[in-house]
Structures are given as C-alpha cells and as structure tokens.
Amino acid sequence: MATVLFDFSGTLFRIESTESWLRAVLAETEMSLTEPELTQAARHLDAVGALPGGSFPSRPIPDELAPVWEIRDMSAELHRAAYTGLSRQVPLPDPALHDALYDRHMTPAAWRPYPDTAEVLGALRERGVAVGVVSNIGWDLRPVFREYGLDPYVGAYVLSYEHGIQKPDPRLFATACDALGVDPREVLMVGDNRRADGGAAALGCGVHFVDHLPVSQRPDGLRPVLELVG
C-alpha cells in the first residue's frame, strides 16, 4: 500500500471520559455540582450520547432530533445542533452549559492520541507512505494534531463538514485519494466504524479496523498497520 487513510476519533485519538468532560466545563464556568450529582449527570450524558467521540446513544434518539442526527456530520451547524440537542435531554445547573460542553470537546485538551499513534505515523513517514485523515466531524480537528506534534505526518485532511459529504459515501474517500494523488487501489483505510469506514472498500481500498477503546486499554492497536503496508 502506497497510502494510508486514518479515521480520527477512536482510531488515532480518543476523547476524554464524559465525567472528565463535564468536570472540566464546570471548573471553567465556575459552576459546581455535588459529587453524586456530577456522577449522575455524567452517566446520563453518556447514556444519551451527548459527547462527540464518546459513547453512542444507548437510548432512542428523540424524534425531533432524528433527521438532524442522520446528517449531523455534513455541516458545523448540524453537528452542533445534534449534540447539544442530545445534551439538553440532561438537566444541568445552567442551560449555557450545553454549549460550553460542546465547545470543550473541540479543544485539544479534550483529546489524547493513542499510545502508538506517533510511532506508527512516524514509521509510515520513514517508509515514504503518504497519510491522510478522513473524518466524519463538524469542526476543524487540525489544531488537535498540531498540539500533539502530529500534523507534519499528515498530507491531507478530508473532513465531512468541509465537503458536505459523510462516510460511508465513497466520494469522501475519493476526495482524500485525489488530494494525495493516489490510486484508491493502493490505499488502506484504517478506522473503528465498520459501516462508515468500510465505505472505502467501494473504491477498491483495503480496509482495516481497530477497536474504539479508551487510550489506556489500547496500547498497540495501530501497529498491525505497519505489517499491512509492508
């Protein structure tokens, strides 16, 4: 394989826990909850899937949000509307916290690279393998890569909200291949979502899946990529 495309969330990086997310925003806004209240609120936020990159909703999506949810990654406005809509199902001390929570998840501080992310990206660069990032997302993730010193390894970022196309639509993967000037048949797509990331197979790309786990539980999930590219 001459090129590797990576998903972002759950593949190269992982979002903080829902409790850490809520705790950070309460501190930033100088609001407080008792520990039992905080624990309960975090549990409910997790259940409704309010944290982008966190748990998928374990409760049915409210009818009024369902149409937006299906296309949430096609624009910044839809992404915010979908996730703040889910968040607002959970009572918080101040309604403004729902937007503050959304804003927090877009900051580099809310993300951590997996332990082997830098190692694998660095090894691919040494081998002359081009790298792209293809993500269903509603905001610019480039500052996250810059914060962790990983931006130099990435030759192209193809983000759904910038193109109005979301995975598994093959056109998003084709855009990444065009940006890197490569034949899709020489590309390996690495991601954690079989449906979304599996869409690359329609172009003839190889596909490899990793487990969407907390950073501490997946120390070397990306290393098999180095064997696959030869």
Residues 161-183: tens digit of each pLDDT: 999 999 999 999 999 999 999 99
pLDDT of residue 2: 85
pTM summary value? 0.95
Kindly state the average pLDDT of the residues 98-122: 98
Could you tell me where the DSSP H helices lie in 54-159?
Answer: 66-70, 76-87, 96-105, 117-126, 142-147
Around Cβ 166, how many Cβ atoms within 10 Å? 24
Percent of the chain predicted with pLDDT > 90: 98
Q: Where in the chain is the domain with CATH 3.40.50.1000?
A: 3-14+111-228
| Residues recorded for the chain | 230
For the chain, how far is it from start to end, CA to CA, in angstroms? 7
Give 230's pLDDT tier (boundaries 50, 70, 90). confident
Q: Alpha-carbon distance 78 to 49, whole Å?
A: 15
76-87 and 96-105 helices, crossing angle to 10°: 130
pLDDT of residue 97: 97
Class of domain 3-14+111-228: alpha beta
Q: Note the pLDDT tens digit of each residue in 145-155.
A: 999 999 999 99
Around Cβ 183, how many Cβ atoms within 10 Å? 12
Q: What are phi and psi of 7, to 5 degrees?
A: -70, 165
Percent of the chain predicted with pLDDT > 70: 100
Query: Is residue 1 scored above 70 in pLDDT?
Result: no
How much is the CA Rg of the chain, to the nearest whole Å?
18
Q: Alpha-carbon distance 193 to 73, whole Å?
A: 14
The answer to whether the beta carbons of residues 205 and 185 sit under 8 Å apart is yes
Average pLDDT, the chain: 97
18-28 and 96-105 helices, crossing angle to 10°: 120
